[in-house]
Structure 1
Amino acid sequence: MKLEKCLTSDNLNKKLLNIRYAVRGPIVDRAQQIERELEKGVSKPFSRVVRANIGDCQALGQKPITFVRQVLALAACPDLMNSPEIPDDVKERVKEILDDCTERSVGSYSPSAGLNIVRRRVAEYLAARDGVPASSDDIHLGSGASDVIKSVLTLFVEDVDGKPPAVMIPIPQYPLFSGTLSELGLVQVPYYLAEDAEWALQVDELERSWNEASEHSCVRALVVINPGNPTGQVLSRENIEEIIKFAHKRELFLLADEVYQENIISKPFHSFKKVMYSMGSPYNSMELASFVTCSKGWAAECGLRAGFVELLRVAAPVLSAFRAARAVMQCPNVLGQCVMDCVMRPPRPGEASYSRWSGERARVARVLRERAATAHRTFNSIPGYSCNVIDGSMFAFPRIEIPARAQDDAAQMNLAPDEFYCLRLLEETGVCVVPGTGFGQKPETFHFRTTILHPREEFQHMMDSITRFHNNFLQKYSE
């Protein structure tokens, strides 16, 4: 007798079928297949696959920060405390962290919101950054920013006055948001960033988006990504003020994804919290969730999963429900919390680790500046390409012109034109980037996102490969 499956495509949670996450999508799957083919000796017009699909800095060659890794090693193995090779400030830091851990072990659960000492350090960091008071009671640590972003979005899963709940998200956007909204059954309300104005966020577009969505849903929250992912723009203070006024007018909860604030090349960073506070009443009483992660910035510890949300001015029953839901998950990764402690309070002048940390951080910043300049210059030199200045984050999002004949071939393969383009790029050069379709883009425009933090020679190889491929692509499809 054949055993029937309890769970099938017919009775599966249908919301999961709507999730799309192009950063690890079909083109990346094909890249992995090609890598296996190369290992087996299958002949290709290239010798290696260049992964440019995800912002995993250490996978792209960035070396771990010594101070962070020494703290992690000592926290995980306190027997190293007597080692003369470990600086005294590292030992002192680990003693403070372990004193806050149950039985002085990072293998123990922490409080569900995170270790008290780390949350205090986060509050101190935010207060120093903004010149605005911060409380550890408002800080909730997570296993990466993605973890707490999903927890906050879960708060909105409830119909209002018979209308389904909706959340406004930028286009282009990081597909964590669209994927999470799909999983939770929340309506996605897209608003377009203005590519011709350096990816500016224009209030007229917010109004258009809100008005259209309000006819059939209850728009409850507004997501802003600053610095932008995948676009790399950094919002001006004036623009942030306009956004805050719009959110107040429409009674929207603001979610500020600010995870790339340590990846800004030249422009100043203004947090939404700081700007709200400076605007005074009634704006400084608005609800706000702002997110930070240790996966980006100078630490770049993606795999250790550390992030936090500062959750401000929410109603007491809402905060109680949020805390209860977080408690079900027990606690964030405790070693990740150790990383957060290092990022929130890095070595200071005069401490034993400061000189080395300062030099390593400066090298990270220098690489970002150099790669951003190279990407911008190279993409704008390719016929049919255009790329805005990269002010922050670690990506380029160039716009590409795809000839009509190539679009016809894409349609025959049931692919979007930019998916077809990126697949051909992978098959012919080994360079793996993510089509703009995965992030959203205005109709009739085509883009791809690429990371830009590869080692110099690898990055130049990637730029040369893209240039050569596109010239051949145009020649083939423009004849």
Structure 2
Amino acid sequence: MALRAVEHSQEAANGLKEKVLTLDSMNPCVRRVEYAVRGPIVQRALELEQELRQGVKKPFTEVIRANIGDAQAMGQIPITFPRQVLALCVHPDLLNSPDFPDDAKRRAERILQACGGHSLGAYSISAGVQMIREDVARYIERRDGGIPADPNNIFLSTGASDAIVVGRGQCGKPPPLLVRSRRVCQPHLPSRPQTVLKLLVTGEGRTRTGVLIPTPQYPLYSAALAEFNAVQVDYYLDEERAWALDVAELRRALRQARDHCRPRALCVINPGNPTGQVQTRACIEDVIRFAFEERLFLLADEVYQDNVYAEGSQFHSFKKVLTEMGPPYAARQELASFHSISKGFMGECGFRGGYVEVVNMDAAVKQQMQKLRSVRLCPPTPGQVLLDVAVSPPAPSDPSFAQFQAQERRAVLAELAAKAKLTEQVFNEAPGIRCNPVQGAMYSFPRMELPPRAVQRAQELGLAPDMFFCLRLLEETGICVVPGSGFGQREGTYHFRMTILPPMEKLRPLLEKLSQFHAKFTCEYS
């Protein structure tokens, strides 16, 4: 205490003042937030891009950022009709222009009529424009074969991530057995489960809320759980069975977790990120039974529901399967399912539009959820406009239908399917790399063999072995991928996540160059 008083007096004498907010005094939960997809390896990629622009000589001419599922950043052309509707809503004077089709004008006029002051610049209600929520409900009903959806159970959000995250408990140190080792830090979380997680997280010590998340997992979940001081409970997907979800593994994870926390929720990502698997209907039924028996709130991350490529694979929504299972599940199992305009065929990541539908949520809790949404005022209205077009596209009788459906939507999804197949094929031809089928979503998650000397060298440098590999890959080839350790993987295995989004003319050379680098790296450390 005396020493601290002397330091304070010296600071005062020198005209210095200790900052109120420092790393030591800030919220420790925020310091634990990590988000591998935008971590240090991406920072280095940005630095390399800057060096290339400055004329610094590198063994490559461009950095290819295959680290993130950002379709338009990878060159995908925006779908025309949604952008036309958005332009008309943002600048209504264009409604008099002959350059826009009549159906786009009708859609824009309809949306503007539903906005406050007939302007996109006005706040909407906290849950989103009522008319757009009704359109989302009709979309869900069509998707699920006529099963009703109530607009009052639908909340529009800033992307899907914001909907996933809504109270939190006191911040403290996480139990070391259940919280993953340090990942790459990214303080601002994307918006998928955050609102619902806030509602779920409570307690201290052994009563803290635990959330079961798939491993490998999308780092949003580990980041959100760290921010809310919840306990991350890992259940491992079965790599030997194309990343299948095994209920026996869920039971193992739940049993071990109950020694340290109170598990209250189970998250499933379908189609999978980063693993690209598509769950079967039988698997979804098993998961619902498990959640019901163990009294777990279900979080269904379904943002890739349009991205299904593999023959024999089909997307089944948790809402549809739950309803068709009948009593007691349909009437009692709590569920929140999430969707977004960021993925699918539109790839409108930057506009941040999405929704959550809640099923069997307690009415009083739903009011609290509405209260939390109101604190954020409203989701961005441009994202709401694009969401409306995504869930209610041009009809066959509309002038924009042919371009939207055949020339653009179908073409985007067909190209993604071809890229998924090519990625699997090229990697599986490379010695020391094995890639499961990319059944859906936008990523591959190949497993690679790393020589013991490479593992030892990584440890000497204080790096995870797959991070060491990915950094060397970036420095020598300009290819930016994310190490599997940022997503979680079984001990002793090494992976990387790579998006399949680069244009086809760049994708094959990228895959071949990456495979060749792995062979060179293996030879160097053998």
Range class of TM-score, shorter chain: over 0.9
CA contact (8 A) 1:71 1:91 kept: yes
Preserved CA contact (<8 Å) 1:367 1:453: no
Q: 2:363 aligns with which of 316, 320, 345?
A: 316
- Aligned-partner Cα distance in 2 for 1:384–1:464: 14
Q: Report the equivalent of 1:389.
A: 437
Alpha-carbon distance in 2 for matches of 1:163, 1:444: 32
Query: 1:98 touches 1:104 (CA, 8 Å); kept in 2?
Result: yes
| Equivalent runs, 1:250-399 vs 2, <5 Å | 250-266=294-310, 267-285=313-331, 286-358=333-405, 359-399=407-447
1:112 CA displacement: 0.3
Equivalences, count: 478
CA distance in 2, matches of 1:93, 1:14: 47
Task: Determine the C-alpha separation between the residues in 1 that align with 2:476 and 2:213.
Answer: 34
Question: Do 1:397 and 1:450's aligned partners in 2 also have CA atoms closer than 8 Å?
Answer: yes
Q: Quick check: 1:72 aligned with 2:86?
A: yes
Q: Secondary structure at the match of 1:263?
A: coil
- Code of the residue aligned with 2:330 in structure 1: it is N
Amino acid at match of 2:448: I
What are the within-5 Å matches in structure 2 for residues 152-191 of structure 1?
Answer: 152-159=196-203, 163-191=207-235
Match of 1:4?
A: 18
| Structure 1 residue 3, shift from structure 2 partner | 2.4
Separation in 2, partners of 1:22, 1:384: 24
Report the Cα offset of residue 464 of structure 1.
Answer: 2.0
User: Relative to 1, partners in 2 of residues 1:323 and 1:280: Cα closer, same or farther, differing over 3 Å?
Assistant: same
Runs of at least 5 residues in structure 2 that lack an aligned partner in the other structure: 1-14, 165-193
Measured after TM superposition, the shift of residue 43 of structure 1 is 1.4
1:464 aligns with 2:464: no
1:377 & 1:126 partners in 2: Cα distance? 35
Q: Post-superposition shift, 1:350?
A: 1.5
Q: What is the SS of the residue equivalent to 2:133? A: helix
Q: Distance in 1 between matches of 2:61 and 2:99?
A: 41
**Mean CA deviation greater in 176-185 or 457-466:** 457-466
What amino acid is the match of 2:454? A
Match of 1:84 in 2: 98
The worse-fitting range, judged by mean Cα deviation, of 39-48 and 218-227 is 39-48
For 2:282 and 2:359, locate their aligned partners in 1 and report how far apart those are by CA, in whole Å. 22
- 1:298–1:361: 8 Å Cα contact kept in structure 2? yes
Partner of 2:132, secondary structure, is helix
Alpha-carbon distance between aligned partners in 2 of 1:395 and 1:321, rounded to the nearest angstrom = 36
TM-score (norm 2): 0.90
Match of 1:438? 486
Structure 2 residue aligned with 1:226, among 270, 290, 314? 270
The percentage of aligned residue pairs carrying the same residue is 50
Residue in structure 1 matching 2:287, options 243, 248, 258:
243
Aligned match of 1:107: 121
Deviations 1:316-346 (A, max 9, x none): 2211111101000000000100000000000
Contact 2:205–2:261, Cα closer than 8 Å, also in 1? no
Contact 2:336 2:357 in 1 (8 A): yes
Aligned mates of 2:112, 2:291 — CA distance in 1: 42
- The equivalent position to 2:153 in structure 1, one of 109, 117, 138, is 138
TM-fit CA distance, 1:161: 10
Q: Is the alpha carbon distance of 1:375 and 1:162 closer, same or farther for their aligned partners in structure 2, counting shifts above 3 Å?
A: closer
**1:162 CA drift (Å):** 5.9
The letter of the residue matching 1:274 is: K
- Post-superposition Cα deviations, 1:373-395, rounded to whole Å, max 9, x if no partner, equal 11000110111100000110010
The corresponding residue for 2:180 is: none
Quick one: distance in 2 between partners of 1:366 and 1:268? Answer: 15
Unaligned runs of 5+ in 1: none
| 2:142 corresponds to | 128
Shift of 1:159: 1.5
TM-fit CA distance, 1:6: 0.8
